Amino acid sequence: MTTIVIQTLINGLILGSFYVLLAAGLSLIFSIMGVVNFAHGALLMLGAFCSYVFITKLGLNFFLCLLISVGVMVILGFIIQKIIFNPLKGNELNMMVISLGLAIVLENSAVIIWGPDDRVFPFFELGVLKISNVFLPIDRLLILLSAIVLIVGLYILIQKTKIGLAIRAVAQDLDAATLQGINSNTISPFSFGIGCGLAAAAGTLVSPLFLVSPYMGTLPMVKAFVVIVLGGLGSIIGAVIGGIILGLMESLVATFFGAVFQNAISFLILIIVLVLKPEGLFGEK
Amino acid sequence: MRFYKVAIIAIALTLVIFTGTNVKAETLKIGVISVLSGPGAVWGLGILRGAEMATDEVNDRGGLKVNGKTYKIELIAYDDKYTGKGGKSAGEKLVYRDKVKFIIGPISSASLLAFQEMTEKEKILVLSDSYTEKALSPQKPFTLRMFMTAVEATPLLVDWVLKEYPNAKKAVTIAPNDASGHAGVKVQESAYKKHGIELTSKEFYERGTKDFSPLVTRVQMLNPDVIAFANAPTSDCALMVKLFRQMGSQAVFTDNTSTDFRKMVEITGKKAAEGYIWGAFFDPADPKMKSYSESFKKRYNIEIPSYVDPAFYQAAKAFYYAIEKAQSLDPATVRDTIKYRIPEFESVMGKMLFGGKETYGIDNQAYSAYYASVIKDGKQVILKKLR
Amino acid sequence: MVKNKGKKTAFMYIAYSLGACLFLGIPHIIKDPYFMHIIIISVINVCLALSLNLIMITGHVSLAHGAFLGIGAYTSTLLVTRLGIPFWCALPLAGLMAGLVSFLLGLVTLKLRGIYFALATFAFNEILRMIFIGWGNLFGGASGITDIPPPGPISIPGLVTIQFNTKFTYFYIAALFLMLTFFIITRLHRSRTGLIFKAIEEGELLTGCLGINTMKFKIFAFVISSFIAGSAGSIYAHYLHYICPEDFSFWESVNVLVFTVVGGVGTILGPILGSTLLTITPEFLRFTVEYQTLLYGLILILALLFMPQGIHGLLKTITNNIPFRGKTQENVTFEN
């Protein structure tokens, strides 16, 4: 029995790390632009396809593809923010709806280019670690490790660098930051770009596990919203803790009560948090 | 002398020109309703492609010849987006604006149920593949289901599986949590019950789930002998099989729908996929199927993704065959021709038959081949023709 | 109440009446059943957009409209098919049911603002959809409920019996409902209540300090908007004669939101224009079946980039720039 519980917890941790990456990017975008980015799932998908193209057409190493696709998506995010979101600055409702339009465009373009089917992402053929009846597929562990590295990197960027300071300043108070000489016209798109890069990393990392398809981003994005509400909008620590909690909860509920509740539990958590403590665990009111 | 040569050539040319232009081509519009966007498009595009290929074959040989006239077929395809409202709008436009008398598709039950009332009233012949039992009834004579559902096919597979594995005692079904998934499980449950086996568990998962480790862990706890997938897409099944094997499962996997076995092998690896059983709807070794796959690959640049493509290719071909056989464009006549003269028609899925009166009250259900297949060494091996 | 009546008012009354007559005469002008279908769907969408607008002018973005449409549709269907209640009674009952549910939901969620409220309504919509699918015995499961009967015929003794199983007669039910909705919405917008709604959006704290129970008004807006949506659900169900959970998903809510935003939030004309145009446009895009959805997304992006105030805002900009003979007079109402 304990082995099942441990297995479930490990499953949840790995699932959670995926949510963490996605939620961190979404949280960053929200704290900078104050906008609900409905295109985040599509951006995840785009990043995954980017890596897919690089690895299948150019046969590059997986981690190299990861870095390249993150870089590409950061630049793309920068451009998207400038062209699409910046003109609507201040109107959060419009920005939310336009992100929806963006999601539709990206998803359907992917279908036109690559077709609607799932594609297999080539990855190393790794084995399974078995520690006293608990099964740890090595490919999943690798993904977990990469996610940890990325989150730590993000934390360092935001908390310990000058650019991170600028981002936090803009997120806190745009006018005050501008008065301090921070150019929000570069910081905002840059942060959006980082958000996209994180989404691309999340997408690339799970592609070997979950396949690549134009629709792969929608459900994870919804879960990411739950995570940032749970953890608190605008807080990276919140995204980490929230993501882990959600992953664990999903795994526990699905394993012991039935997979059919795997999504329902997320919505339940969302409603409970919103009703009891809307600012989440680490958010500011 | 020269004059006669010129005259003969001139007369010959004139004759050629005039007999050539005597054949005036009219257009026959055929409607297609299918899910062409969103995740359902994986299946829905198959309807369009199948119809396209059959149509192009007919058009390339000049068109349909009915009652002295030749008709070029024009396919008009609309997206129903897998919803009832979408299906209704698509149907309304096809029937009232484009004035079609025949509709190929849809695959979505909601879509069919939404426009069926109108098509029955207007006597439009609908060649569909929706899973719902409500699709066929004596009150709906103009709706044909061109392909078998779980109700027709699955019990045969279960019978065969349990004969091959008589020691199997514990069986678990895994299906997506929607109409087709629930329908497939219902059929499997009664089929297993007939053999005295009560399903240990019936697992449902939401479509779109990609991380199956909780579900796999849960099922592994029960340690079943047979894990039966019901109407789950191949990539989902493959991801689960991979996890199951990683956890050391020795269970027998069965799948009641057509499996893209190449994708299964690609995702799980040859070793894990070994022994995977499914009910195939066509025999890839059949020469008609072979030539169809080749033209398919040449045209669309991908392998055949699911049974929907050849199924609707066959359905459309049968439909055109029936029109020419009946020499009529009246939907009722064509329908009866399809139903009663189809055994003469054989295509990529083998012979077809219409039946189903016991279940639906009307013989509007098509039956065709069904093979028990297994993956051996990464390839499909047909073990028994079940129908 | 001091009303500064401009010359425009009489003109507007005439315009409205003419418009109404034209609107009601549509079935006699348009005979094509496909166009009638699109028109009826548009009418329903207009009601949905107008009602969503009501809760949005208090500053709350609701993503639950699809769920309320569904509640109304299922309630009406079950009342008519299981209890034999006639359509004309089932319609308001359906609206009431939706209103009741929204009342309970609003009590719990209307204290949230912005994205929090939006997410809560989104979660509610999804949970309701799962209930519609899961509770098969009541709701027919994932394949929904078929053979929903149209409203029974009305016979005016000695004169004529009106059947409601054709689009042409059903249009009048939908049209009547639209006019009712329009009436309710415009009255609310122009009343003191409407002013309070807008005040809540601009500054809830301040409005509260003025002694107004903002929660009461927000719940009122929410309930009215859901009542309309639920009633629209009944009209939808008895028109299509078939409902399934997928018709009431989160995407339906998003659709209504898009209608409202692209049309112009906060106005009355905006949602009308937005929903009509965005219902008709995809039908015109059908010829490019592969690109239909992609084009829709592109149009959405372009619309928001170039018409941030919605279509209504665009029209206003155009008409404001047309030189008028004489001055334009505004209708201003003052409250004592």
Nearest-Å Rg of the Cα atoms of chain A is: 19
pLDDT at A50: 92
Shortest CA gap A77–chain B (Å): 24
Q: Dihedral through CA A71, CA A72, CA A73, CA A77, nearest 10?
A: 100
Q: Which chain C residues touch A268 with a CB distance below 8 Å?
A: 127
Partner-chain residue, chosen from C32, C143, C286, that has the shortest CB–CB distance to B132? C143
Minimal Cα–Cα distance from C320 to chain A, Å? 23
Interchain CB distance below 8 Å, C127 and A264: yes
The shortest CB-CB distance from C142 to any of B77, B117, B179 is to B179
From B75, B115, B65, select the one nearest B98 (Cα to Cα): B75
Q: How far apart are CA C8 and CA C247, in angstroms?
A: 42
CB contact under 8 A, C123 and A274: yes
Q: Which amino acid is at B147?
A: F
Question: Which chain C residue is nearest to residue A92, measuring alpha carbons?
Answer: C114
Taking the mean position of all CA atoms in its chain, how far away is CA B115?
Answer: 20
Helices (H), A34-161: 40-57, 62-80, 92-114, 138-160
Tell me how far apart the alpha carbons of residues C48 and C256 are, in angstroms, rounded to a whole number. 7
pLDDT value of position C50: 94
Least confident of A263-272, C112-121, C198-207: C198-207
Binary contact (B36, C247; C-beta < 8 A)? no
Q: Are A170 and A187 in contact (CB under 8 A)?
A: yes
* pLDDT recorded at residue C47: 94
**Token pair listed for B160:** 């065969």
pLDDT of residue B9: 58
Of C243, C283, C292, the CB nearest to B93: C283
**pTM of the predicted model as reported, rounded to 2 decimal places:** 0.85
CA distance B107 to B204: 21
Q: What is the ipTM of this complex?
A: 0.86
Distances (CA, A) of B253 to B158, B204, B228, B274, B350: 11, 16, 6, 10, 26
How large a percentage of chain A has pLDDT more than 90? 21
For residues C147 and A114, the model is more confident at A114
- CB atoms under 10 Å from CB of C38, counted, come to 20
Contact: B210, A260; criterion CB under 8 Å:
no
* Contact between chains at A218 and B266 (C-beta distance less than 8 A): no
- pLDDT tens digits, C5-32: 555 677 777 887 887 888 888 877 777 8
Quick count: other Cβ atoms within 10 Å of Cβ C284? 10
What average pLDDT is seen over chain C?
A: 83
> d(Cα A61, Cα A63) in Å, to the nearest integer?
6
**Cα gap A196→A177, rounded to integer Å:** 23
Question: Which residues on B lie below 8 Å from C168 (Cβ)?
Answer: none
Q: Check if C300 contacts A (Cβ < 8 Å).
A: yes
Lowest mean pLDDT across B228-232, C156-160, C226-230, C272-276: C156-160
A277 Cα to chain C: minimum distance (Å) = 10
Q: Are B91 and B33 in contact (CB under 8 A)?
A: yes
Q: Average pLDDT in the A61-67 region?
A: 86
Asked if the Cβ–Cβ distance from C304 to A278 is below 8 Å, we say no
Helix, strand, coil: what percent of chain C each, to 5? 75, 5, 25
Which residues does chain B have with pLDDT short of 70?
Answer: 1-25, 387
Contact B205 A262 (CB under 8 A): yes
- Mean pLDDT (chain B, rounded): 84
Which among A96, A101, A112 has CB closest to C301?
A101
Minimal C-alpha gap between C141 and chain B (Å): 7
Take residue C40 and report the two structure tokens written for it.
């009826």
Least confident of A47-56, A86-95, B192-201: A86-95
Helix H or strand E segment including B278: strand B277-280
Q: A98 contacts in C (CB within 8 Å)? A: 300-301, 304-305
Bridge partners of A37? none
Interval C128-137 mean pLDDT: 84
Which helix (H) or strand (E) segment holds residue C167: the answer is: helix C167-190
Mutate to test the interface with C, among B45, B79, B136 (most CBs of C within 10 A): B79
pLDDT of C324 strictly over 70: no
Nearest CA in chain C to A95: C304
Return the exposure string of A94-116: e unless at least 16 CB atoms fall within 10 Å of the residue's CB, then b: bbbbbbbbbbbbbbbbbbeeebb
Confidence of residue C239 (pLDDT cuts 50, 70, 90): very high
Mean pLDDT, rounded, of chain A:
86
The residue with greater pLDDT, C113 or B323, is: B323
Q: What is the pLDDT of residue A245?
A: 93
Q: Mean pLDDT throughout C259-271?
A: 87
CA–CA gap between residue A152 and residue A143 (Å, rounded): 14
* DSSP letters for C8-32: HHHHHHHHHHHHHHHHHTHHHH---
In this prediction, residues C143-150 reach a mean pLDDT of 82
**Strand runs labelled E in chain C:** 2-3, 154-156, 160-162, 333-334
Q: How does DSSP assign B164-208, residue by residue?
A: H-TT---EEEEEESSHHHHHHHHHHHHHHHHTT---SEEEEE-TT
pLDDT tens per residue, range A186-195: 888 888 898 8
Which residues, in sequence order, are CB contacts of A175 under 8 Å at separation 6+? none
Tell me which DSSP letter residue C279 carries.
H
DSSP state of C152: P
Query: What pLDDT is recorded for position C330?
Result: 44
Instruction: Report the distance separating Cα C78 and Cα C97, nearest Å.
Output: 12
Residue type at A199 in one-letter notation: A
Q: What pLDDT does C336 receive?
A: 35
For residue B134, which residues of chain C lie inside 8 Å, CB to CB? 143, 146
Quote the pLDDT of residue C75: 94
Q: How far apart are CA B94 and CA C33, in angstroms?
A: 11
